[in-house]
Structure 1
Amino acid sequence: LPLIARDLVSGGPLTYGILLGCFGLGAIGGALMNARVRERLTTETIARLAFTGFAVSASVSAVSSSALLTGAVLLIAGASWVMALSLFNTTVQLSTPRWVVARALSLYQTTTFGGIAAGSWIWGTTADTHGAEAALLASAVVMIAGAALGLRFKLPELQSLNVDPLNRFSEPDLPLDLKPRSGPIVVLIDYEIAEDDIPEFLEAMTERRRIRIRDGAGQWALMRDLENPTIWTETYHVPTWVEYVRHNQRRTHADAANGEKLRLLHSGAEPPRVHRMIERQTIVPHEYERFKRQADIH
């Protein structure tokens, strides 16, 4: 903005202050309009308009020699900037399960401010090499590309997501006296799937894999019985028993549809059978003695 004020509109410190004030007024206006705009437009539409509005503002600022015109389009830039950032912040919060929302927000904030730092260096270098006008036009092209990216990767509609805990899991009674840190735990779930339902089952299992890994499972795999091809087994690992309990408690209302779909695809007379197992390592005697000596040394 200082380069715009000095080089493109031939102004001084006062011009810079006025242009910065226009950007700030636009940001205030965008914040005031935010709630009303969200009532009328979808999340993805708002994001695309914000990207496009900022791109238009950058393009006009690049070719304008009038401080009045540049100040006017900076109002649009300020509104677009604050609406996009607040929208992304809200989307991250409301589309993330409650148990991991703090970590998701920290990653989002790190990425955002890291992007601002990287963008400042990239466009500053471009302006230094090719001039402020070229840097603004190039950044406008990138912002239009960002808006177009939404055609392929859309932001989730917040009203369609319920990421509150499902709270359907009850810890099973076990004959073994497991401690919270007992493990590793291996879980196997057997499904009986008709041949015609296999494509739909595999699609549902792709979503199930994402949910499992998000909730802390490892070594997820889907296997098919060679001797009885209608039997499919989902398997995954968790480090300890308490992690297995937490894994199940992390399931959300939005995940429930996936579980219901898999139960409907299961064609067995009984519900899918769940096997909960604990891994045990076997060590031959001479290896055990060596292992014990090494442990005594350490």
Structure 2
Amino acid sequence: MALPAALAPLRHPVFRSLWIAGLAANTGLWVQNTGAAWLMTSLAPSPVMVSLVQAASMLPVFLLALPAGALADILDRRRMLIAAQLWMAAMGVLLAILTFSGGLGAWGLLALTFGIGSGTALIFPAMAATTPELVPREDLVQAIALNGIGFNLARALGPAIGGFIIALSGVEASFVLAASGFIVMVAALVLWRRTRSTDTLPPEHFLPAMRSGVFFVAASPALRAAILRACAFFFFTAAVWGLLPILVRGRLGLGPDAFGLMLTAMGAGAVSAGFALPYLRGSATRGAIVFRFSILAACAIALLGAFPHWLPAGVGMVAFGIAWIGAASTLQAAAQLASPAWVRARAIGIYQLSFFGALAAGSAIWGILGSIIGVTETLLLAAVTGAAVAALVRSWRIDPPSSAQAPAAPLPMPEAPAAEFTELLNEHSGRLLEVVRYTVVAENRAPFIALMAEMRRLRLRNGARVWRLYEDIAHPETFAELWVMESWTDHLREAGRMDAGDLATLARAAAFHHGDAPPEASRYLNLNP
């Protein structure tokens, strides 16, 4: 029997097993968070210390997103994920032992919670970058939506299971249960037989890999647009996360059970959006879908702020859940599709760093405004400004441009290195200057220079540290394109990073060259110490 479109990615066995295991691991993570927060109420029953439990679990995700992405790109992701899950399981077991023995204090609890959060920080970009390996391109967006559904199911189930286990067997039992969820994920990862990379080049070093990730994002318009639009969406929707507890308790006059039901309503909306996404994708571009969900989120926030009654607030939370998962999964899919495999985890790490930063900043700013002008006014302000900003950033295209037809032009090819340089050409060679010389007739000067702007982004995306275009002042028809690679090995990596769109751009540039032979290409090794 064929699966519904919303569940289509589950037909792929490895994705299915990792999705189920991820549900167990994420549920365990929320069980652990619940147990840690409850334990802190007895170790140090102050609002500040209890709030620090949540901060300790999420701060590593913000601090380590880019380093974790770099590690996921240069190490074997499967082994890295196994190590991170084992680390989290060990932290959970240690929490249980210290709690049972009475040897755990408030700051020890925060330290171990931070340790578990560090494992989560390593997992997020590596797991996100792994998804395109598990499903074909046509199933990627829905696979990301299913991951979001799983995370929201875990967020709904975890606290309830954690509370039941704490009441039944004590808080240390919740830590053991959380560790068990992490072990389930380890088992699924061990059973996954990942295809080994055929790359014969040595792996990138850690700091240069981080730098390459930043350079790639800076030179990728579609990825930058996805990050900026994510910041615009998450900053304004953070008002709900920052003010919902006060709204439920103060304005609606309800208790913690109602607060839990509001979060359940949000989760129900998120799950329903995940099932509806396949039908929306056929009717609009990703950019248009994000805009529609941004407007829906603004309407949901306005509904929360405008009516002091639980029913419209519940409807608002359902709508907010729909908008949240719809926009979040579409934006993350756009970020993944704009990132080739060699840099995907770093790019996703920077994307996650940006939206976690927007969430944290938004929660703090809207919380401060709520204390100054009131919760109702703040939510209405967030709704209006969020809708306005969504309209302003709508022109930032997150869909990759269609590739233009490449002309049949021979590409520039440098001569092979001289024999005496063979021993010098490796990852320690020092910087390499690459040069391509073009002869362009006067009437083609303007379009050639316009195309060179795309060439600049292409070179920087693929690892160049510096790019320049020079024109010969004695012969205006002669141009020299220069770019610098960190080493000979990086130069070899550059060739492997070229995709079909890059090759088409190179061919269009070569087609401007006037002459029977292709543009002249040469390479120079830096001899300065």
2:513 equivalent to 1:270: no
Task: Give how far 1:278 is off.
Answer: 1.4
Q: TM-score, normalised by structure 1?
A: 0.86
Of 173, 190, 198, which residue of structure 1 is paired with 2:416? 173
In structure 2, the partner of 1:111 is: 354
CA distance in 2, matches of 1:122, 1:172: 58
> What SS is found at the alignment partner of 2:456?
helix
Deviations 1:134-181 (A, max 9, x none): 1111211232133113333121159x47xxxxxx99996322324312
Deviations 1:161-216 (A, max 9, x none): 7xxxxxx9999632232431223211110011111111111111001111111211
Q: TM-score, normalised by structure 2?
A: 0.49
List gaps (5 residues or longer) in structure 1.
Answer: 162-167, 283-298
Deviations 1:57-109 (A, max 9, x none): 11121111221122112211101001111111111111112111010011111
2:488 equivalent to 1:241: yes
Of 218, 225, 232, which residue of structure 1 is paired with 2:472? 225
Deviations 1:207-229 (A, max 9, x none): 11111112111231101112211
Question: CA, structure 1 residues 182+14, in 2 after alignment: closer, same or farther (shift >3 Å)?
Answer: closer
CA distance in 1, matches of 2:514, 2:414: 26
CA distance in 2, matches of 1:245, 1:146: 42
Greater share of strand: 1
2:317 equivalent to 1:74: yes
Question: CA, structure 1 residues 12+169, in 2 after alignment: closer, same or farther (shift >3 Å)?
Answer: farther
CA distance in 2, matches of 1:279, 1:20: 59
Structure 1: which amino acid aligns with 2:281? Answer: R
CA distance in 2, matches of 1:150, 1:253: 29
| 8 Å Cα contact 1:171/1:245 also seen in 2 | no
| 8 Å Cα contact 1:188/1:276 also seen in 2 | yes
In structure 2, the partner of 1:187 is: 434
* Ranges of 4+ aligned residues in structure 1 off by more than 6 Å: 168-171
The alignment-based identity, stated in percent, is 28
CA distance in 2, matches of 1:57, 1:217: 45
Greater share of helix: 2
> What SS is found at the alignment partner of 1:188?
strand
Of 448, 452, 457, which residue of structure 2 is paired with 1:210? 457
> What SS is found at the alignment partner of 1:271?
coil
2:386 equivalent to 1:143: yes
List gaps (5 residues or longer) in structure 2.
Answer: 1-243, 404-410
CA distance in 2, matches of 1:93, 1:275: 34
CA distance in 1, matches of 2:400, 2:464: 27
| 8 Å Cα contact 2:414/2:520 also seen in 1 | no
| 8 Å Cα contact 1:209/1:220 also seen in 2 | yes
Task: Give how far 1:250 is off.
Answer: 1.2
In structure 2, the partner of 1:154 is: 397
Question: CA, structure 1 residues 240+109, in 2 after alignment: closer, same or farther (shift >3 Å)?
Answer: same
Question: CA, structure 1 residues 157+223, in 2 after alignment: closer, same or farther (shift >3 Å)?
Answer: closer
In structure 2, the partner of 1:10 is: 253
Count of residue correspondences: 276
CA distance in 1, matches of 2:257, 2:487: 64
